[in-house]
Chain A
Amino acid sequence: MITLVGMNHASAPLDLRERACFAEGEIEGALSRLRAIEGIAEAMILATCNRVEILARGDDPARVAVKVRAFLAAERGIDEALLERHAYVHAGPAAARHVFGVVCGLDSMILGEPQIQGQVKRAYETARRCQATGPVLDRLVQHALSAAKRTRSSTGISRHAVSVAYAAAKLARSLFDDLTGRKALLLGAGKMTELAARHLVGQGVPSLTIANRTYARASTLAASLSGTAISWDDVPQALERVDIVLTGTAAAVPVLTRETVRRALAARRGRPLLIVDIAVPRDVEPETNTLEGVYLYDVDDLQDIVDEGLGERRRAAEEARRLLEIEVVAFDRWRQVADLAPTISALYERLHGMERDEIARFSRRLASFGEAERATVEELLRALVQKILHRPTLTLKAAADRGEAARFAALYREIFGLDADASREEGSGPQRLIRGGKDD
């Protein structure tokens, strides 16, 4: 069963999310440590500026949740009690529902925002690369991604979504008459920063300066935005000239200190400076906001602005939730059928085993039979077993459709004495349904 442990912008304050957040380079190592935990068969880590979520598959969701929470606490150095207060846990269909909602942007700070889809895709690719995912998480994420795509296009939820870039532009208009002729400095050349930069250019900001730890990336982005790339060391000088700073690096510690900004203020001759920090962990020391003429906004501060047009997006979100529920039910059916796979395979093994045993038992009497006759008898027996198995298999699948798979599986195991064979068959059973992902 799937278990999800996580925290987002609604459940945890920014400073806790900062501490819990995994940097891009840390995820692979964390995944291998997570997979090494007993009882966790599959895992995936999603770490964005607004959420840190760990998806894990294991037999006992309650135990998996405890282990994952302990892992997160140990890995990020967070007090477990604090984590318990701010983290949420979903298991089974609720976990799947949450994942579908997240991918569709229904759980995002900016309701319906599309960037999360790409972030989930990247998190999934990383988990796959580390061989941390398996049939269930593969199916869940792939299903969620395709369902989100369908839901977005049919409800138009993304059309109404305002972006962080929009919020930054609106904030800028609170400070400046208009954005034409303004100079903006971008710190970081990631996807979110690029999107925000494109929006600023669209709003009339003609001059973009881009700085990144890797100069080549800054240079590439600058070329695509008709901006200017500068080296990281030139950032303090650039601060003296620009009106807007947009920062979204993946740095683990603040890259812009209060002191750096304070030094730049003298040369600014009182011109206000808007700093929008969309990075988690934050790129700019929060104390920078105490400087006169400096207005620092982080992702949480943008909440009020991005709530604009919320009515329209909420209506679209309701429709999206309704559509996603159908997808969640479909996934849950698949999962239940997949969960039946060991029972069905054990049942097949059991009856075909009996068939083989009976043939062996009657081998002396069959010795007088010719090769063709013997084959006919064996074929007859196999067909009979298949016919006997056909109805119970269909009944099991129908039970799965009704959400009664577990009860029926237990019943079958008892009637046919399958548990007695389980240990013998473990690991070698034909887990056809799980592996193939087909519910034929």
Chain B
Amino acid sequence: MTRGLLEIAIALHAAGAAASFGGEIGKRPTWTRGGALVLAAAFVVELSVLALLGASGAAVPVRSGAEYLLALGCFVLGLHLVLGLGRGLPGIALVLPVVSAAMVFAALVLPSIPASGAALERRGWFVAHTVVATAGMAALAVAFAMSVLFLVKDRALKLKRSVRILERSPSLETIDRVGFHAMLWGFSLLTLGIATGLAMQAELNRPLWGWAAKEVFPIAAWLVFAFLLGARRAGSMSGRRSAVLTICGFALGILTVFGMSRR
């Protein structure tokens, strides 16, 4: 049943993203509004899938990489819809639904292998760690999307190409500012996620470090973002280089997916 619902969710998500995209490019508000409604429906279905998954395992539904990506995609879409990012900043409506749809689609195609030891999912630190880390990655996904948009727009401006999509996108300054704030939130939540993860390991009397993908990649991502924030504060990093580093940091963070089925 969850598989069928997930397929409906991805179909709605893709249709909504396409309508939003087309509405933004073609300056058709009806399409944009319709796309937002379809995306809202996709969000509800994805939440239902997550609830069903949680209920079936009696745990937070991030037991596998696939579930994690579904939760992350749902979170990013929620940020887009609930926070109204797309309304205030038209260009963002081009990027966030597409990024979140890609995550949900990946959840559909990745093998869903639940981790062993389901009992730990009921523990408090695990719930806090999972929620905080997923929220952090969702914020970093927004920063990633903004960085991609920044690089594309920067390139078009440098090459003096008139790209219709970019005419509807916010200014470089806005893209940079939204991306930076998303990165600040993402970094803070990622830090909290790492701290709660350590607390969880301590509670289970496990070693704090084990060179597993789910430990190495978040720490690597954290180091990248820490360096980037420091460099930005010092004024030695901005623009393209900052965007490239944000993309690298997010890519490292998303590689955590490969460690999700190992506990």
Binding site for B on A (CB under 8 A): 173-177, 269-272, 289, 292-293, 295, 297, 301, 304-305
Contact = CB atoms under 8 A, between A and B. Distances in A.
Contact of B162 (A177, A272, A293, A304): A304
Given A174-B172, A175-B172, A177-B174, A301 B160 contact: yes
B241 A174 contact: no
B157 interface: yes
Interface in B210-251: 232, 235, 237-242
A147 to B, nearest CB: 34
A269 B238 contact: yes
A174 B149 CA distance: 13
Contacts of B170: 177
User: Could you say which of A175, A289, A304 has the most chain B C-beta atoms within 10 Å of its C-beta?
Assistant: A175
B112 interface: no
Contacts, number: 43
Nearest to A178: B171
Contact of A270 (B171, B174, B239): B239
B240 A292 contact: yes
Contacts of B240: 292-293
B88 to A, nearest CB: 12
A295 B240 CA distance: 13
A175 B160 contact: no
A271 B235 CA distance: 9
B157 A295 contact: yes
B237 A270 contact: yes
The interface residues of chain B, by DSSP majority, are classed as helix
A174 B239 contact: no
Nearest to A294: B158
Nearest to A175: B172
A272 B235 contact: no
A269 B235 contact: yes
Nearest to B235: A269
A304 B159 CA distance: 12
B154 to A, nearest CB: 8
Contacts of B166: 174
Contacts of A177: 170-171, 173-174
A270 B180 CA distance: 13
Instruction: Please name the 5 residue pairs, one residue from A and one from B, whose CB atoms are nearest each other, closest first.
Output: A270-B238, A269-B235, A304-B162, A301-B160, A293-B239
30 contacts: A174-B157, A174-B166, A174-B172, A175-B171, A175-B172, A175-B173, A176-B173, A177-B170, A177-B171, A177-B174, A269-B235, A269-B238, A270-B235, A270-B237, A270-B238, A270-B239, A270-B242, A271-B238, A272-B173, A272-B239, A289-B158, A292-B239, A292-B241, A293-B238, A293-B239, A293-B240, A295-B158, A297-B160, A301-B160, A305-B162
Nearest to B240: A292
Contacts of B238: 269-271, 293
Contacts of A295: 157-158
A173 B237 CA distance: 23
Interface of B: 153, 157-158, 160, 162, 166, 170-174, 232, 235, 237-242
A98 B162 CA distance: 30
Nearest to B162: A304
A176 B240 CA distance: 16
Contacts of A305: 162
B235 A174 contact: no
A272 B160 contact: no
A77 to B, nearest CB: 28
A170 to B, nearest CB: 10
Contacts of B174: 177
A177 B91 CA distance: 13
B157 A176 contact: no
Contacts of A174: 153, 157, 166, 171-172
Contacts of B235: 269-270
Nearest to B157: A295
Nearest to A172: B171
Contacts of B171: 173-177
Given A174-B157, A295-B157, A272 B237 contact: no
Contacts of B239: 270, 272, 292-293
A270 B150 CA distance: 14
Given A270-B232, A292-B239, A305-B162, 4 more contacts: A174-B166, A175-B157, A177-B170, A295-B157
A208 B235 CA distance: 25
Nearest to A293: B239
Nearest to A290: B158
A292 B241 CA distance: 9
A175 B175 CA distance: 10
A297 B242 CA distance: 24
A299 to B, nearest CB: 12
Contacts of B162: 304-305
A293 B162 CA distance: 18
Contacts of A292: 239-241
Contacts of A293: 238-240
A272 B158 contact: no
B87 to A, nearest CB: 16
B155 to A, nearest CB: 11
Contacts of A297: 160
B111 to A, nearest CB: 42
Contacts of A270: 232, 235, 237-239, 242
Contacts of B237: 270
A305 B157 CA distance: 12
Contacts of B153: 174
Nearest to A300: B160
Nearest to B166: A174
A301 to B, nearest CB: 4
B90 to A, nearest CB: 13
A270 B232 CA distance: 9
Contacts of B241: 292
A303 to B, nearest CB: 9
A260 B238 CA distance: 20
